Amino acid sequence: MTSLFIKSIKFLVGGGFILVLLIALWGSIWGVINEPPAETAEHAMHKHPKELKLASDGPLGKFDERQLQRGFLVYKEVCATCHSLSLVSFRNLKDLGYTDAEVKKIAKDWGTKQPVFDEKGGTWGERDNLPSDRFPKVYYPGTGTPPDLSLITKARHDGAAYVHSLLTGYNEKPSAEALKHFPEFAKTPDGMHFNPYFANLNIAMPPPLTQDGQVQYSDGTRATVDQMSTDVAAFLVWTAEPTLQTRRMAGWAVLGFLIVLGFLTYGAYRSVWAGVKH
């Protein structure tokens, strides 16, 4: 009797606990239905990235070396003064079609040099970059450091499309309808810039690409703002995963091998068991 009584108490306590949870859950759902949360400015004005198609998209996509070189030029001329690329080495640029001599010159002429440390870990000088060095980090002591761009297309949803949209979204303004509900966005705070593709709508970074022809492409491509933003987005897809093309080729080779192996296995099965009655 005592054991049965204890079990009954356990079931009652457990059932009561589940009932309380169900009531709390229903209360939350009912509250959301009757009093939905107020729409925020970020939700009302934020835009999804524009559609962007790159040569590297899809399972059969391949990097366009000419586009990657143009993207690297945009990074070098426009982005490198503020944003690091510290997970990429200069010698990796050979994958974009640069020669050893070109890579060596790019490394040597790079604006930020490599620090030289003494035995106690202090810096006592600088030296020229070598092809084996990674791109040097950019520091802004006391003011915060802008994000490193090495993995930016992996760290942001819609990666390349996000980069392209952000760079070309500075001229877009809030709609009149949105400003009726959020009049505070009629004036952008000092030191900030409205951009509907940025998470909280106002970004401290000034528009990097301000006019066509800001960089000079050597292959004859017209350097419009849209073209430059597309090229640098493609380049940052490569920095985030430089082995993307090789990985895909290996994947297709493995898939082909497994298909052939499957046919051979099935053929062997039919041959071995052909004379056996089931």
Domain ranges within the chain, ordered by starting residue: 42-88+137-245, 98-133
Distance of CA 129 to the CA centre of its chain: 27
Q: How confident is the model at residue 208, as a pLDDT?
A: 96
**In the chain, at which residue ranges do the beta strands (DSSP E only) sit?**
114-117, 123-127, 193-194, 202-203
Instruction: Residue 201: name the closest of 74, 39, 41 by CA.
Output: 41
Taking only the tens place, the pLDDT of each residue in 80-93 is 999 999 999 999 99
pLDDT in tens, 212-259: 999 999 999 999 999 999 999 999 999 999 998 888 889 999 999 999
Task: Indicate if the pLDDT at residue 159 is higher than 90.
Answer: yes
Q: How far is CA 54 from the centre of its chain?
A: 14
Higher pLDDT pick, 116 / 157: 157
Number of separate helices (H) and strands (E) present in the chain: 9, 4
| 169: three-class secondary structure by DSSP | coil
Inter-residue contact 163 to 229 (CB < 8 Å): yes
d(CA 39, CA 173): 19
Distance CA 94, CA 109 (A): 16
Note whether 86 and 134 are within 8 A (CB). Answer: yes
List own/partner pairs for 260-265 with CB under 8 A and 24 or more apart.
Answer: none
Least confident stretch, 27-31, 52-56, 122-126: 27-31
Task: Indicate the annotated binding residues for heme c.
Answer: 79, 82-83, 205
Residues 6+ apart with CB under 8 A from 15: none
Q: Residues annotated as binding site?
A: 79, 82-83, 205
Distance of CA 96 to the CA centre of its chain: 20
Overall pTM surpassing 0.85 (yes/no): no
At residue 38, the pLDDT reads: 59
Whether domain 42-88+137-245 has CATH 1.10.760.10: the reply is yes
Please say if the pLDDT value at position 118 is more than 90: no
